[in-house]
Structure 1
Amino acid sequence: MTSLSRTSTLATFGLLAMTAVWGSTFVLIKDVVGRMPVADFLAVRFMLAAVVMFALFHRHVARLERKQWLRGVLLGALYGAGQLLQTSGLALISPSVSGFVTGMYVVFTPMLATLLLRQRMPPVVWVAVGLATFGLALLSLNGFSVDTGVWLTLASALLYGLHIVGLGQWSRAEEAFGLSAVQMAVIALLCLLATIGHGGPMLPPDRDAWIAVLYMALIAGAGAMLMQTWAQAHLPATRAAIVMTTEPVFAAGFAVALGSDVLGWRMLCGGALVLAAMYLVELAPRRDSKNRLPAEAVHHEV
């Protein structure tokens, strides 16, 4: 195995670990947002993450070129707006429908990469997109109606797709710490602005809520952003998006393990299809790999 392929494999497992952490937060988020407004929860979560990241990585931020600063601001704005749209949509539709619609970034990512970057997608990628989409539907959908909440969530999925494409295009391994910190600061600012209408963010109401918010700020927030930014310096955007569709699989697994859901055929089949999609893009034979540039070398200036 070459050094490049080892790094790519490590990046894939890093994304899987990050996605598992995201999957573990569904039960925690459901409990916390039942006791404090969604925008307030997001503001406190991302402000804590931003403070910690700047305390640890302010020297890395200072070393960023102006161009990377601006890119970090744009990427953070995309992700922060996606978070606000997704949670606003979730207030209007069921969590299962929200999970499926949010997962549609796996469809938007290759479409955006093709349209914006003129990247040619191998047929196996489109097969994987189809498998992942069908798997997400089996995991998440029990009826579907197109209303305002669906459109808001679909808009968030589009923004997440743009964030994945942009991060894959602009992220450099040596700048991951600084770029992650800039993104987190912008996300925190957007979420804080969303709380101004009712007088600023409400703090978590009790110790259990604080523990949950700290976990989601430091592990699922700062840690996950660092891992995603580093991993996408080594993986094509579409491949990263398909790996990240394992989030509902992990979420379902944690729900079953914690006794809040029952293992059924839809969960088994949907999870198997998502994992099969990841297998296709990660382990399928790459017959033309010798003729391709490595992922780290295909970044273009925008």
Structure 2
Amino acid sequence: MSDTTQPPQPRNHPLAGVIGWPIAHSRSPSLHGHWLQRYGITGYYVPLPVMPEHLAEVLRVMPRMGFVGANVTIPHKESVLALADVVTDRAALIGAANTLIFRADGKIHADNTDGYGFIANIRQHAPDWRPEQGPAALIGAGGAARAVVASLLESGVPELRIANRTRIRAEQIKAEFGAKLVVYDWAEAGNMIEGATTVVNATSMGMEGKPPLRVPLDALSPGTLATDLVYTPLITPFLAEAQARGCQIVDGLGMLLHQAAPGFERWFGQRPEVDAALREVLLA
């Protein structure tokens, strides 16, 4: 009697990852790995070190390897826009993408969820925040700052003040985002804070291994919301001083967590929860 048992058929498990150069420092694999385990999803999320000159080639081959999407980090967030077939309005406005979806029709869809993550983090930890109640002050005008600008304007801030060590970068953002932006010289960054109800540090200053943020914070008012995009350390010197002055503070870790959620949902079919347990995993 012949054996009619069929060999097991291969199963396709969703595969995603994070592309950057370097990438060993990324916390995204731990973050997505936690969600995959929590929801019992048989999928994988891996770090992908990709040099800039190899980016286009890697993106072309990833869908054929079983990838359903990827996160994108430094230095590729701007470059991927030119390589994507479909770019969302917010990614085009910000000028960078952090989330790619490899569609069934073979096209690459590029989005930017940094602004979503920024606002969702504030809403979670400062539910009484009212952006429309007063001006916002933004320190820094780099890539991450553009996502913050877009999200603050969308949230309804009546005025957005911005200062950067290189003034021309702040002027470029104002030229693109409009009349609600007011550019201050770097030497006036401390004055810019006066009367602001939301203050954001979007520079790397204050991060472990980086120079401190040397902006006078005397003008901070009690009750002001202060948030930092830096999350190493979790409580930066900027946030510590803001808290001592009676401000409500929100650390930067939640932005990382929330910006990851839309991509995870698109790739793995489950909207993940951002909670205290997830924070503990990332802080461990």
Q: TM-score category by the smaller chain?
A: under 0.3
Higher percent of residues as helix? 1
Higher relative contact order (CA closer than 8 Å, sequence separation 6+): 1
Larger Rg: 2
